Structures are given as C-alpha cells and as structure tokens.
Amino acid sequence: MPRPLPRHCYREKNYRGKMVFYVRVGHGPRIRIKAVFDTAEFWNEYNAAVEGKTKPRATGPAAGSLAWLIERYREVNAWTSLSLATRRQRENIFKQVLATAGTVPHTSITSAMIAKGRDRRSETPFQARHFIDTMRGLFAWAKTAGLAKSNPASDVEYPTLKSGDGFPAWTEDDVAAYARRWPAGTRQHVWLAVLLYTGLRRGDAVRIGKQHIRDGIATLQTEKTKTVGIHMRCGW
C-alpha cells in the first residue's frame, strides 16, 4: 500500500503524466514540492511549506489576467478530471492563447475575440474546434466558480469542416501487401496487429506494450474513458 499523504499535501498528474506534489494550508498559496516523495528532502520541503517558511514564487501572472485564470483552472477538479490526452491537447491550445493574450484581463474576453481566434485557425478546422472546446471548458468553470459572469465561448460556432473523401481506407490487398513487406517478428508487423485487432484509439495504441500482457492476453486501461478491457490475445 502506498504511504498516505501528510496533512495539507496533495498530489496530481500534470499534463505530461508526471505525479507532482503540492502543499496548501487552508486557503493559502499552493507550494510545489520538488523533491521525490517520502525522501528526507521531501519532508524538509514539506515542513518548511507547512510552517510558512517557504515563500511562493514571486513571479507569476498578474491577478485577473487570462494567464492567471488558466493557472487557477489547472488547480481544480474540472481540469484534473480530464483525461491525460485531453489535457495534453488543451495545453497546446493554452500555450498559443498565453502567447497572444495571456496578459489580457479575463473579464474583457468576448465572444468576438474568441471567434477571431477560431478564424486564425481556419486552415486547420479541427484545431479550431479544439480551441473553442478549450475556451468553453475554461470559462464554464470560471462562471461556476464566480470568476466570470458569462461564458464568452458558448455562443461561438464551430468552423465548417471542409467536405472531402478523407484518407482512403485500406483494402485487404493493402493489408496483405504491408504484411509481406513487414512480416511477423518485425516491429512494424506488431504495430499493424495492434491497430487491426485491438480497436484502441491512437493515443492508447501507442501505449500498449509487454507490461500490459499477462498469460498471453493484453489488458489496458484506456486513457480517455478509464475502462479496462481485454483487447487481444497475443504471443509477445
């Protein structure tokens, strides 16, 4: 059993999947502990934070700015409960938003401004949709938390997706040709088998490996839905 966390200590996974630890006493500032959990260095940092000897970092976004709002959003369950894949995707959006409007007061963000952000991504309509979803999630939480009076992204329409045939689906002949080029025993053949026979999303397909195999059966908890299922019988 993992050792329980001490009082005022919290842990969460960041968007890279790394477990990080914080100390927060009451409604005070959140102080990051950088040392490895349960080491002497960890307890030194923990005690200093609880006793108020550690000062929160002096640098940071100005209170009330869009960057400040995003930083607060990253601290709450509305963000941490999202799947790791979704957080990675939205972090990429936030990087772009912070570069262009991080210092803008979040109360001055309007639907028209978000629509302009969508239009700047018109060449990549799926990215434009992700941008809208990201801003809707941010301001939906802000409204619930009493930090915003409305959600300026809620009325912004998704971009129109360009019609087209998309990528052609492989035929059985295509699969056979690939298997001849990359026969059983090669990494490329394993990748083909994973994609064909597991039904996993791309983000889960790249994670599955020998560590998920017991008695010849691959079992994996999916990143997005957190479901656990038997996906394939294999001889790895």
Residues 6+ apart with CB under 8 A from 172: none
Geometric angle at alpha carbon 79, from 122 and 68, rounded to 5°? 80
Residues 236 and 210: beta-carbon distance below 8 Å: yes
Distance between start and end Cα atoms, the chain: 30
Give every CB contact of residue 175 below 8 A, 6+ residues apart in sequence. Answer: 192, 196
Residue ranges of alpha helices (H) inside 103-223 are: 111-120, 125-144, 172-181, 187-197, 202-205
How does residue 233 score in pLDDT terms, banded at 50, 70 and 90? low
Q: Are residues 106 and 127 in contact, defined by beta-carbon separation less than 8 angstroms?
A: no
pLDDT of residue 207: 81
> pLDDT tens digits for 130-159?
999 999 999 999 999 999 999 999 999 999
Question: Which stretch of 69-78, 124-133, 223-232 has the lowest confidence by average pLDDT?
Answer: 223-232
Model pTM score: 0.59
Residue 151 to residues 95, 133, 155, 229, Cα–Cα distance (Å): 20, 12, 8, 37
Query: Which residues, 6+ apart, have CB-to-CB distance to 120 below 8 Å?
Result: none
Q: Is pLDDT of 235 > 60?
A: no
Q: Is the pLDDT of residue 68 over 70?
A: yes
Helix (H) / strand (E) element for 217: namely strand 217-221
Q: What are 8-25's pLDDT values in tens digits?
A: 998 887 766 788 898 988
Please give the pLDDT value at position 108. 96
Question: Mean pLDDT for the chain?
Answer: 86
Question: Does the pLDDT value for residue 59 go beyond 70?
Answer: no
C-beta separation of 200 from 220 below 8 A: yes
Asked which of 20-29, 42-51, 124-133, 195-204 is least confident by mean pLDDT, the reply is: 195-204
Q: Dig out the tokens for 199 from the structure.
A: 């039904």
